[in-house]
Every structure is written in structure tokens, then in C-alpha cells.
A and B are shown apart, each in its own frame.
Chain A
Amino acid sequence: MIEGQPFFQLDWVLDHLDTLAQRIGEHLLVTVIAVVVGFVISFALALLVRRYPRLYPPILAVSGVLYAIPSIALFVLFIPITGLSLLTAEIALVSYTLVILVRNIVTGLRGVPAEVIEAARGMGYTDGQRLWRIELPIALPIIVAGVRIATVTTIGLVTIATLIGMGGLGYLVVNIGVRQRFPTATITGVVIVVLLSTIVDVGLQAFQRRLTPWAKAREA
């Protein structure tokens, strides 16, 4: 912090609204790509596990190991191969979503009561119809719960992706705030990250409630 400068300067924030908006946009884009790609991969893996349950332990083990690698290490690990690029950032971010998403999708599908599956088979659903019309809708609350955790985690991690030049809110926190000793930027960046996480989390929860009106009847 530079001598004689107030800790937090609201003027700076108001003067840089357009920059902030741009950083939020970058941040969200990187997050959405990571969660969407992560979800597609996880969904495919979960369907594989549904068909071949024996694959579940190895899949969990691999995604668990990926999750355990510190994020900075993972970024650095890929730089020689993919450079300081969006791809490098996304490979790391997607890796982190897998363990959460696979686990939640599989748990959701396995949570469908056995009698519901038996009734569906007995009434003449094909395997595909049963998956899409019965099992996935019933698993939805748990799947969305996984997406919420994965998204919030990713929003946090994207901040670190700044280190490999990905912009986003991490740019405010680290490049302006820390490197230039300007705490206002750090505080603003952190507050926005927290707000974004909260808004996205609450938004996804509301989305899930809308899609599963029947789950409320159960609580009542």
C-alpha cells in the first residue's frame, strides 16, 4: 500500500465500472466453459458407470487424484504443452469439476428407488426411455447440487488462472491489487467473486426447484 493513500477508494471503483464489467465477463466465460465441458465429460462417464458399475472405483480414483493436485501446479504442468492459453486454464479447471460432477450424477442415478426402476421396466420402458424420463429427472436435485458446487469452486479457481494470463477478476486481485499495492482493487475483486458465487449458487438452486416441483411435495 502506498503511503497516505486511503485503504479503499470508492472513486476508483466508480471510474472503472466498464473494466469491472469486462473482467466479470471474462471470469464467467472461463467458468461456464469449464463447467459445461466438465459436465459433458462427467455425464458420459456416469452413463458408463451406470452400464458397467465396475468402472466406478477407477474413475473416482483418477478424478480424485486430479482434484488433489494443487491448482497452480496443474497450470504450470501444462504450460510447456499448451502454453499460456485458455486451453491450459480449462484443462485444469475441467479436471477439478470431474470428481464432483461424476460423483453427484452417479449418486443421483443410484438413488432412484429400486421399486421405481422395477415398475418402469415392468411397464415397458426401453432402457433409454427409463434413463431420460425416469432416472435423470429423479436424480436431478442431486445432479444440480453437484453443478452448484462445481460452479462455485470453479469461480474461485478462475481467480488463480490470472497467474497464467487469463484475465478475469483475478487480474484485479493479483495484478493490480497485489503487484501494484493497490488494496482497493483486491477488495473489489474479492467482493465481486464472492457475490458472483453466491448469485450463481442461489440462481442454480432456484432453477432446480422450478424443475422439480415434486421434491417440494415430499418435504411438505
Chain B
Amino acid sequence: MTSSAAVVRLEHVSKRYGPEGGPEAVSDLSLEIPAGEICVLVGPSGCGKTTTMKMINRLIEPTSGRITIDGEDVMALPAVELRRRIGYVIQQVGLFPHLTVAENVAVVPRLLRWPESRVHERTNELLDLVRLQPSTYADRYPAALSGGERQRVGVARALAADPPLMLMDEPFGAVDPILRDRLQNEFLRLQAQVRKTIVFVTHDVDEAIKMADRIAILQRGGILAQYDTPDSILKAPASEFVAHFVGADRGLKRLSLGRVRDLELGKPITARVGEPRGDLRRRLEEAAADFILLLDEKDRPLGWIDRGDLGGDDAVTVDDATPGSPTLEPESTLRDALSVMLGSSVQLGVVVDSDERVLGVISVDAISEVLRTPTSRPA
């Protein structure tokens, strides 16, 4: 899919609703959003995050300051034309109830008077992209869709004219937590493909950390408290306000930015079913370890055996192993990894590949090491 992304720049932007001299909703805000990144505007209610976003497509016009998209002042174009070049997704989705899914997706291309054949082709392409089978969904009306399906159509509609910039106003705010997590993951996967510049508004700091390449934290009155990568913000909050806003558990939150694959895996002491217990004891003594990982013939983990349970010299069997805690994958977040390890008797997490073969183990120590030494955010 062809794709482009725009650089968005806000220069000393202010918005005041009341008379001159009154309180400002957004105050002297300057931000540069690099092309192809997700910039999340986050903050408590009344911080001006939605106002800031709506000034970019001029649903709200700034009182002063300048906003440019790829260097072009947004005030230079008629508002209607500007908006057709910017994708727009809102919390309540706002699908047009009297239009089918395909017609909803085709809205902006038709406003731009694309030839019908191209509109049709593009609509199908987009429905595929958001994983809605065109043959099943194209002719349905929004009323016949589930909440998740509606949200996907909303995203497809915003992407229809291939805009270099998308504005998303709490796009996953109205769905239940499980669905939200799934839609977020889907969207991140989609973004990896389309690489748009995205301005994303949320009040949920966890969502901000998960979605953002860069987070702009705003405080009341539209004052920029900090603008940085999620990792830097968690590691070094710029102010008391930011520290409080991201939460006392920001150390743990940083863990959700890291992946198991970012760590160097340790080699566990292993054994196979049928080996004599004496050999296993000797192996553990040499390594000065207390637990041995029992594998099956395909290198899949069966469970850990405690050194104290290795008396005698007969062959080990599957029954000797304590069935292990859930295994981890390289893609698991360090937060999940830690959680698994805390629940396991040996405080080690077994990492397996997609065929469930053991790749190695990680330890609680390795994770706390991550928290001490700054890591850059995995791409």
C-alpha cells in the first residue's frame, strides 16, 4: 500500500474561549510531531488535549499561534479541503447509520470525486486491511455491526483517502477493556504497515504508554508538562505533576515497554526423561543450581525438578517434575514475564519459541537490571 506521512508542527499555539484576558484552554503550546509516529496527547480532563487535536483540522480555530502540516499552514486552505486530507476517528465512531459499511468507508474518496472504480477498489482494500471480509461486511448497515466491528470501520473510513495524518480522539474509549486491548494491538499492527503520522488523544495513561512513540502530557490550562518517549517519561518524569499523573507504579509500567526478546536469555540446567537421577544431581552440583528443567524428546519443557527430590538413582519420569508455570514467548512484555515468575516456585521464566521448544530462561534479577539501566524502546 502506498503511504506517506506528514510532519506536524504546533508553534506557540493558544486557544481562549472567553474574552481577551480570560483563561486559556491551550496555552503557548509548541510541539513537533515527526512523520510516521504516534503522538499521544494525554492529561486530566480540562487539560486541552482534545482542543489541541481539533485545532489541527480546524474544528476549533486557534486564538494565536501557527499549525503547519508538512510546512503548510493549516489556515492556508479552506477548512473543508484541509479536513478531507486528514483522517479523523472519534470515540463514538460516528458511522453514518443510513450508509452501508462500504459507503461509509467511501465517504472521503467520494467527496474528493475519485472515479467509482477506484473508490470500489480502495474500499475493499481497506476492509481487508482492518480484517473485515468485504464480501460479508460491505453491504451491511452499521446497526448490524458489533462495537469492535464499528470501530474498525471507523478506522478504515479515516484511512480511505490515504491521508498523511490521522487524528484519533479516544478511539478505543467506548469499548470494554478486553476488546480495547485487542483493538489497540490491531491498530499497532496496522500502523506498522501504513506508518501514518497519528495524533492520538486519551485520558488513559496506560493506553498512552502502549500506543505512543511520543507522549505529550498536558496539564490544566493546556500547558505542556512533558513531551518525550514513553520510556523517558517513566524513567525521568519532568515534574511532580508528571510523576503523579503517570502513577507511583511507573517502574512497573516501564516493564510493559520491554519485551522478553530484549533480554539476554540464560541457559537452564536441563535433563531428559529417563536419565538417571545421579547424573542430574551431579549436573546441579557442578552448576551450583537448585532446580533442573525436564524436557521431552522435542525440547519442550515438562517442568522443574527440585534438587531435594532427586534421591536414589532410578530414571526420572514426567511425574517428578512440578508442572511449570505458563511459558513466555519472546514477544511477551517484561511485565507479564515478571508476573509469571512471581507465581513460579523457581523464580525463573522459561522462554519458548513458536514450536514450544525451550529457548532459554530469564530471571527476576535480569528484569530488575532492566529497571536500573535505561533501555531504549524496542521498535
Q: A123-B88, A124-B81 provided; 5 other pairs, C-beta below 8 A?
A: A117-B94, A120-B94, A120-B96, A125-B80, A217-B144
Q: A123-B111, A124-B108, A218-B97 are in contact. Are A113 and B92 (CB under 8 A)?
A: yes
The answer to whether A220 touches B94 (Cβ under 8 A) is no
The answer to whether A123 touches B144 (Cβ under 8 A) is no
The answer to whether A122 touches B57 (Cβ under 8 A) is yes
The answer to whether B111 touches A122 (Cβ under 8 A) is no
A64 within 8 A of B: no
The answer to whether A124 touches B90 (Cβ under 8 A) is no
| C-alpha gap A114/B90 in the complex (Å) | 11
1/0 per position for A124-155, CB-CB distance to B under 8 A?
11100100001001101000000000000000
The answer to whether A124 touches B111 (Cβ under 8 A) is yes
Q: A123-B107, A129-B111 are in contact. Are A115 and B92 (CB under 8 A)?
A: yes
Residue of B nearest to A213 (CB): B141
| C-alpha gap A121/B91 in the complex (Å) | 15
Residue of A nearest to B107 (CB): A123
Q: A115-B90, A115-B92 are in contact. Are A121 and B98 (CB under 8 A)?
A: no
A52 within 8 A of B: no
Query: In the complex, how many residues of chain B place their beta carbon closer than 8 angstroms to a beta carbon of chain A?
Result: 29
Q: A217-B141, A218-B143, A220-B144 are in contact. Are A116 and B97 (CB under 8 A)?
A: yes
**Shortest Cβ gap from B165 to chain A (Å):** 12
Residues of B within 8 A of A212 (CB): 98
Q: A214-B141, A214-B143 are in contact. Are A119 and B98 (CB under 8 A)?
A: no
**Which residues 97-132 of B have a CB within 8 angstroms of A?**
97-100, 107-108, 111
| C-alpha gap A124/B167 in the complex (Å) | 13
A15 within 8 A of B: no
Q: A121-B59, A122-B57 are in contact. Are A134 and B111 (CB under 8 A)?
A: no
**Which residues 57-100 of A have a CB within 8 angstroms of B?**
none
**Which residues 184-220 of A have a CB within 8 angstroms of B?**
212-215, 217-218, 220
B→A interface (CB under 8 Å): 57, 59, 80-84, 88, 90-100, 107-108, 111, 140-144, 157, 167
Q: A124-B81, A217-B143 are in contact. Are A119 and B111 (CB under 8 A)?
A: no
| C-alpha gap A115/B142 in the complex (Å) | 14
A11 within 8 A of B: no
A118 within 8 A of B: yes
Q: A138-B98, A214-B143, A217-B141 are in contact. Are A122 and B93 (CB under 8 A)?
A: no
Residues of A within 8 A of B108 (CB): 123-124
| C-alpha gap A202/B167 in the complex (Å) | 46
| C-alpha gap A215/B142 in the complex (Å) | 10
Determine chain A's interface SS by DSSP, over half rule.
Answer: helix
Sample of 28 A–B contacts (CB below 8 Å) = A114-B92, A115-B92, A115-B93, A115-B94, A116-B96, A119-B95, A119-B96, A121-B83, A122-B59, A122-B90, A123-B157, A124-B83, A124-B108, A124-B111, A125-B111, A129-B111, A134-B98, A138-B98, A212-B98, A213-B141, A214-B98, A214-B100, A214-B142, A214-B143, A217-B140, A217-B142, A220-B143, A220-B144
Residues of A within 8 A of B95 (CB): 116, 119
**Shortest Cβ gap from B71 to chain A (Å):** 21
Query: In the complex, how many residues of chain A place their beta carbon closer than 8 angstroms to a beta carbon of chain B?
Result: 26
Which one of A116, A123, A217 has the greatest number of beta carbons of chain B within 10 Å?
A123
| C-alpha gap A137/B99 in the complex (Å) | 10
| C-alpha gap A213/B98 in the complex (Å) | 8
**Shortest Cβ gap from B304 to chain A (Å):** 53
Residues of B within 8 A of A134 (CB): 96, 98
Residue of B nearest to A139 (CB): B98
The answer to whether A119 touches B141 (Cβ under 8 A) is no
Considering the complex of A and B, which 5 residue pairs feature the smallest CB-CB distances, nearest first? Answer: A119-B94, A124-B84, A115-B92, A122-B88, A124-B83
Q: Looking at the complex, which one of B81, B82, B90, B100 makes contact with A119 (CB distance below 8 Å)? A: B90
Residues of A within 8 A of B88 (CB): 119, 122-123
Residues of B within 8 A of A125 (CB): 80, 111
Residues of A within 8 A of B94 (CB): 113, 115-120
| C-alpha gap A117/B142 in the complex (Å) | 16
Residues of B within 8 A of A119 (CB): 88, 90, 93-96
Which one of A115, A214, A220 has the greatest number of beta carbons of chain B within 10 Å?
A214
Residues of B within 8 A of A113 (CB): 92, 94
Residues of B within 8 A of A213 (CB): 141
The answer to whether A118 touches B98 (Cβ under 8 A) is no
The answer to whether B98 touches A137 (Cβ under 8 A) is yes
| C-alpha gap A220/B88 in the complex (Å) | 29
**Shortest Cβ gap from A125 to chain B (Å):** 7
| C-alpha gap A121/B88 in the complex (Å) | 10
Which one of A114, A129, A134, A212 has the greatest number of beta carbons of chain B within 10 Å?
A134
Residues of A within 8 A of B107 (CB): 123
Residues of A within 8 A of B57 (CB): 122
